Chain A
């Protein structure tokens, strides 16, 4: 399971490296209540069990994201490898400065003298009627910032390998976990392994169109591609896995072959990941394009609460299918 894979990656890194520490709200739980600790393991139970194994390196924090996420950044600039858990990515607003102006810029501003190997894990995604402040996927905002690395895993195997790499990476990494993926089952090797940042996963190769998708949208793209296959339209599906660094070569070389590009993204459509990929592709391999690239994103609105509105908000396989067909016209 996706969430177990994340737990395993953290546990293995904490076993291998004593400088790895973990902090967040209720990452153990029951602090100060007099009851058995580790009652929560984070809001969705991802870090459960870690407190008992590493009681001196797992810290429950007061609700004060600026201070404890900032402390993760500071500790990481001072010899630790801190993993800060931010319950929902929507709360990034509370601690924005510590990532945007601090973690991201230390190395550059300090003339290359600092490393800040912090990893911020956070939950993204719509689909649970959690409304406008608990459903966003704001990885584009952080991709925008030079100095930060952004990781958006789409399956359990990748999550474990990418998180392992992120923890050991010397730059600040933000790791975005989609809540709808947590309980998806998949065989994951028990041992330690890494997946490099900036290396896309090509799920399937086709000749007609290139679909780029991230996180939960990889599954949506795959479903659309299966449907299109029946009509003889074959697609390449590329999961970049990380938005920064970005494996543009994988995208450009695929578009050179297919001549068509569709990007599926759950983040906001303006100045976002999908727009970025399309802009780069247009600039670099314009002459290979046979038709206008298409973005499949939510409408430019906050995430609504009611189920019917939320379902309409999230990019669907049907919309991806239609976008691919449009590039074929």
Chain B
């Protein structure tokens, strides 16, 4: 199952997942101190989805993301120092402190932005896919969206558009079982169990995979992306996963069964499952993984320290970049 990944690939994927985890765990603790402004939605628990897809992408490929975007950013290669500084609202942030957690974007690496509007991503990804198709450079676009966003009209319309125009777009549904406090079991009759059932109706291939199994995601992602690259049109991959924290930082989570996260952390954690597979197959020994863990810990620590020490945006920046010219 990990047959077509070199050891180097495996280590890289693990490092990315660890970076996302550590980044989010650290923001969770820092948020509690009151130093991080605004609304923050954490991706911890869902790492295998972002990394499983982005490991197939290059800088020319585009992704569009959600309010829960830190994981997508890291997986796509946005600089971690810049991200942390952005979340702290600093001048050195990816967006100069003007966007914050919900709007981190880096077009140079094909990251079209986290997004504050649920369901805004799919149409943008169709546009990215159309640009790829017209440029004929073999690039694709991948849109990540949640089970809640799956109900938004923009999402249905975009699936239809992608099929109509035969666009190289891969729809990645992150089904983490909750849209704020609401379950997908309530919001539809088709797709109560697998939302992918809805996508098939639009005439594109759609599958559901275990989103906490990196290798299952990686394989499904590879197929869908390869197909799109070769001109085969859109595809839909539903990844079943779980978020470890509340909808946003500060959410009391009374809508969740007690112990749900504890159980998942113990028995269904995407990083632990990845490690178990590669160690059991003798591909990597656990000391190598621990070394990565230590390096990542230091890296995130450095990013937090630098972000805290960084200056606020210059007051004049309030007025810049509204237009290119005016």
Contacts and interface: CB of A to CB of B under 8 A. Distances in A.
A43 B148 CA distance: 15
Instruction: With a 10 A CB-CB cut-off, give which of A32, A90, A301 has the most chain B CB atoms.
Output: A32
Interface residues of B, number: 45
Interface in B37-91: 37-39, 89-90
A305 B103 contact: yes
Contacts of A307: 37, 89, 312
A308 B88 CA distance: 12
B7 interface: no
A146 interface: no
Contacts of A305: 37-38, 89, 95, 97-100, 103
Contact of A60 (B98, B185, B186, B317): B186
Interface string A19-32: 00000011001111
A269 interface: no
Nearest to B89: A306
A40 B253 CA distance: 9
A301 B323 CA distance: 9
A16 to B, nearest CB: 29
Interface in A39-55: 39-40, 43
B contact face: mostly helix, strand, loop, or mixed: loop
Nearest to B321: A301
B182 A31 contact: yes
Interface stretch (B22-30, B113-121, B227-235, B299-307): B113-121
Given A132-B103, A308-B312, A30 B98 contact: no
A129 B86 CA distance: 12
A26 B182 contact: yes
Contact of A32 (B152, B154, B183): B183
Contacts of B180: 25-26, 29, 40, 43
B31 to A, nearest CB: 12
B184 interface: yes
A223 B48 CA distance: 52
Contacts of B199: none
Contact of B255 (A33, A130, A133, A301): A33
9 contacts: A33-B185, A34-B183, A39-B255, A90-B117, A130-B39, A131-B100, A134-B116, A306-B97, A306-B312
Interface of A: 25-26, 29-36, 39-40, 43, 60, 62-64, 66-67, 90-91, 93-94, 128-134, 299-302, 304-309, 312-313
Interface of B: 37-39, 89-90, 95, 97-100, 102-103, 115-119, 148-149, 151-154, 178-188, 254-257, 312-313, 315, 317-319, 322
